[in-house]
Amino acid sequence: MPSFPGGRHGGTVVPLDRPNVDTDAIFPKQYGRSTARSGYGPVLFDNWRYLDPGDLGCDHARRRIDPDFPLNRPELHGATVLLARENFGCGSSREHAVWAIRDQGLRAVLAPSFGDIFRQNCPLNGVAALQLERAAVDRLFARAAAAPLRVEIDLLQRQVRAGGECFGFALTARELLLLTEDVDWIGATLAQRARIAAFEQQRLARQPWLARSWPD
């Protein structure tokens, strides 16, 4: 099931007002001893979310939560959009960080900038990493501080709407395909079969010697 059926999603925002959140903060290393792609939601932001330390064999439902951490606020239960500051997802390239975000139920991260590898991993795992202007992020944080904020994300129009305001973002055709269709990176490439075939025909027309077979 794609994360953005029809290219659109609406949800409540979790505001995480911290810059330079690295992938170890998103997904601490002690939980990275499995290649399963699910089950990591409870350890998302583990060191900030809980008041006691955890490990791989913990029953996270029995741990003490920090009531001041945004993800634990009752009014934000079920939120599906994370609002972050600059350089979100910096640090190591661990894909588990995106798996934890997705497993928590978050479908999009809005931020002024991202770690490059993290941003590449997001659409491959059904999470939209959407880069907004810093001023737009500031306005969304101000709204989220006043009351629970709901946003509407339209990937087709490349817009985020909140409270009558509209903010734009860039999105490639491949990212759009990954988020709106149930395909992986290979499937996204195969969707371009016609363009690939046309390129090959044009290339051979310019360089016909490339098609020549050589004796063994």
Can you give the residue ranges of every domain in the chain? 5-170, 181-211
The model's pTM is 0.84
What CATH number should be reported for the domain whose range is 5-170?
3.20.19.10
pLDDT in tens, 99-141: 999 999 999 999 999 999 999 999 999 999 999 999 999 999 9
- CA–CA gap between residue 51 and residue 64 (Å, rounded): 5
Percent of the chain with pLDDT over 90: 69
Strand boundaries in the chain, DSSP class E = 8-15, 81-83, 108-111, 128-131, 150-154, 159-162, 165-168
